[in-house]
Amino acid sequence: MYSQQKVKITNKHLDQYLLQAKKILNEYDLCDYCTGRLFAKKMGLLSHQLLGKKIKNLLHYKSTKNCYICKDILSNLTTIVNRILEKSSDYEFSTFVIGAILRPSVTDRDDIIRSKFKLQGIDSVKTAITQQLAKKFAKKTKTKVDFLCPDLTFTFNFKNDSCELQARTLILSGRYIKKIRGMPQKQTPCTNCKGRGCLECNYHGISKFTSIEGKISKLLFEKFNGTQTKITWIGGEDKNSLVLGNGRPFFAKLLNPKKRKTRLEKKFADDEIEIHNLKIISKIPKESIHFKSTIELSIFTEKKLNSKDLTSLKNLIKTPIVIYEKPNKRNQKSIYSVKFKKSSPKSFLFWITADGGLPIKRFVEGNNIQPNIAELIGHKCECKEFDFHKIDLINF
């Protein structure tokens, strides 16, 4: 990105600009960087410093005062580069970008000279500062500038002498299997900060890891040393449901990761959950993801079942399931297969493959859903448990 000066600066190059340079330097003390910056683009040269030094030598110009425009910021960037190096010492990265916040007086002085001497199409002092910082930092770290998607973004604030660093969010996809009952999908936020992140929760936004979200987050924190996770779930389950088979898909955003090249095993498992197929991806799909779920339901009835009560459930394959959410708003799901087995005089097991997002307990009990299981078998029903045996993505 930032190559070395390759064009030899000759007096012939400079003749047409020396008169203007002399006028500027007679009125304003400028450093080598700012002097060269005013003419480098017109001459097709890269090094502002070398050009500025050449101009001053030809004009026999010497000054002991600070640069009128940048107040010698450009001549003293090594200290700032060292601070940026220290700030990023714990991070893995191969690309970066550096921004700067300057005092308004610096840009105002730059504008004064550019306007007064009708200097058009030249780099601003802010651009020059960020380019020099990036050039020096890239050389020290053997990394590259990337303006579109950098691993690290630095902002050096010259107004309060501070440096901020932001690591690009890592996006991952995976699946989880839930092997025990009683574990919720989502983790309650830290009670002290309400999920914003604080010292008490180590800036994670959660202080416990007792849910599916907590388990996934803890794994990602350990692997990539990030601060917070934002998880997108492909469907959900009851606290007491199991998720078996191929597992439930999910997407996770990991904020401010310090590591980016961590090796991910095919499966992470303990006694409660398994996380598998975990991998880094470029983005979470913007469009809605459709999926089908194969679910086993344990249903209890108010009255005893006879042999004919369950046969009407076969009609669910032929009929759209209409879910009434709000007045004038409804949703529609389809069921693709059904299977049932009486397990006691007042209970039966029911297996279905259905569109994702079907509210299972409402579907069983008949709460604003048509048709529903209670209506079809003619008994008041209650779903005690339901477990997911397979979840298939349709359009991903």
Classify residue 105 as exposed, middle or buried by CB count within 10 Å of its CB (0-12, 13-18, 19+).
Answer: exposed
Upper half-sphere CA count for residue 192 (Cβ side, 13 Å): 12
Assess contact for 125 and 37: CB atoms under 8 A.
Answer: yes
Which is the catalytic residue, given 29, 72, 123, 238? Answer: 238
Q: Per the structure block, which two tokens stand in for 148? A: 């579109």
Residue listed under structure tokens 């893995």: 92
Active site residue 238: yes
Distance CA 380, CA 386 (A): 17
Q: Tell me which residue has tokens 């692997």.
A: 223
DSSP letter, residue 132: H
Helix (H, G, I), strand (E, B) or coil at 381: strand
Q: Residue 240 and residue 364: Cα distance in Å, rounded?
A: 17
- The three-state secondary structure class of 141 is helix
Look up residue 311 and give its DSSP letter: G
Cβ contact 83:163 at 8 Å: yes
Rounded Cα–Cα distance for residues 262 and 190 (Å): 27
Beta strand 144-145 pairing with 329-333: unpaired
Supply the residues annotated as catalytic: 238
